[in-house]
């Protein structure tokens, strides 16, 4: 089945120790997103890729970076995690059809714990 | 810029009854989609229903339907014959130009 896969599902890191979360998709969608979600709040968009074009949200901290080496894979790098970065990180994909943003397909998320 | 407002943080419904979740939005875009997503506890977010803003007819998916009022920028979700499996957090979202904006969510409890 076509899907969005996130690894690992649970990640524990130490304060200040870099961590990388990964996302892969078999849907061949041109847009990929990274969201941060805390405690049943709304997902907060960190950045998204439209094909290879990287789009950063204005309020995304510099501590967060992303890479998309090809259509299928996208990575979220947290250079120096702080306690406030503990959250669920959601990856999603969608098709962009003309100017419409179509349905987003979400992965199961990676829950990050910072000790 | 897009904003989405869900004014009901929590709602409850008796099993088999009908419930309506409210959503209002604001956007400067002329072309956009509207969505309701469901996020069950500890499970991944999935699409419930989608509405293309250029369509006047309200979208329907089995027990789920929307009341789309474009002039009022309102997009409510009606769940008929509620089931225990409908218990979840529901997010309203608008999407245009490569990204979606989500509301703060409504937690729906279904009472047996």
DSSP assignment string, chain A: ---EEEE-SEEEE-TT--EEEEEEESS--SEEEEEEE-TT---EEEEEEETTEEEE-TTS-TTEEEE-SSSSEEEEEESS--GGG-EEEEEEEE-EETTEE---EE---EEEEE-
pLDDT tens digits, residue range B90-99?
999 998 877 7
In angstroms and rounded to an integer, the radius of gyration of the C-alpha atoms of chain B is 13
Residues of chain A that touch chain B, judged by Cβ-Cβ distance less than 8 Å? 31, 33, 40-43, 45, 48, 50, 55, 90, 92, 94, 96, 98-109
Dihedral angle, C-alpha B80, A94, A25, A70, nearest 10 °: -170
Mean pLDDT for A44-69 is 91
Query: Residue A23 forms beta bridges with which residues?
Result: A6, A74
Rounded (5°) CA angle A104-A74-A58 = 75
- Inform me whether the pLDDT recorded for A97 exceeds 70: no
> Which domain range does residue A101 map to?
4-114
- pLDDT-based confidence at residue A40 (cuts at 50, 70, 90): confident
Mean pLDDT for A7-11 is 94
Mean pLDDT for A23-33 is 93
Task: Give the separation between CA B33 and CA B100, rounded to whole angstroms.
Answer: 9
So what's the pLDDT on residue B99?
77
Q: How many domains is chain A partitioned into structurally?
A: 1
User: Exposure of B6 by Cβ count < 10 A (0-12 exposed, 13-18 middle, 19+ buried)?
Assistant: buried
Cβ–Cβ under 8 Å, residues B33 and B27: no
Residue in chain B closest to A104 (alpha carbons) equals B47
- pLDDT-based confidence at residue A2 (cuts at 50, 70, 90): low
The CATH number assigned to the domain holding A85 equals 2.60.40.10
Task: Give the separation between CA B72 and CA B75, rounded to whole angstroms.
Answer: 9
Residues A101, B103: C-beta atoms closer than 8 Å: no
- The list of chain B residues with pLDDT below 50 reads none
Mean pLDDT for A65-76 is 95
Distance from CA of A58 to the nearest CA of B (A): 13
Cβ–Cβ under 8 Å, residues B94 and B100: yes
- Nearest CB among B35, B50, B98 relative to A31 is that of B98
Pick the CATH number of B2-111 from 2.60.40.10, 3.40.50.1440, 3.20.20.30, 3.90.1150.10: 2.60.40.10
């Amino acid at each position: 089945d076509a899907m969005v896969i996130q690894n690992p599902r649970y990640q524990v890191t130490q304060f200040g120790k870099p961590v990388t979360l990964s996302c892969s998709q078999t849907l061949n969608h041109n847009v990929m997103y990274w969201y941060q979600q805390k405690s049943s709040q709304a997902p907060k968009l960190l950045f998204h890729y439209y094909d290879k074009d990287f789009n950063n949200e204005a309020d995304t901290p510099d501590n967060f970076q992303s890479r998309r080496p090809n259509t299928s894979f996208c990575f979220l790098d947290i250079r120096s995690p702080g306690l406030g970065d503990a959250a669920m990180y959601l990856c999603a994909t969608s098709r962009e059809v003309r100017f419409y943003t179509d349905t987003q397909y979400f992965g199961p998320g990676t829950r990050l714990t910072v000790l | 810029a897009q904003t989405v407002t869900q004014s009901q943080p929590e709602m409850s419904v008796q099993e088999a009854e009908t419930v309506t979740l409210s959503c209002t939005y604001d956007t400067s875009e002329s072309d956009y989609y509207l969505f309701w997503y469901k996020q069950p506890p500890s499970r991944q977010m999935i699409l419930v229903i989608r509405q293309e803003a250029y369509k006047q007819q309200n979208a329907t998916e089995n027990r789920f339907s929307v009341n789309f009022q474009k002039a009022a920028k309102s997009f409510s979700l009606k769940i008929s014959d509620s089931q225990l499996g409908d218990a979840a957090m529901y997010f309203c979202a608008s999407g245009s130009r490569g990204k979606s904006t989500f509301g703060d969510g409504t937690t729906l409890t279904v009472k047996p």
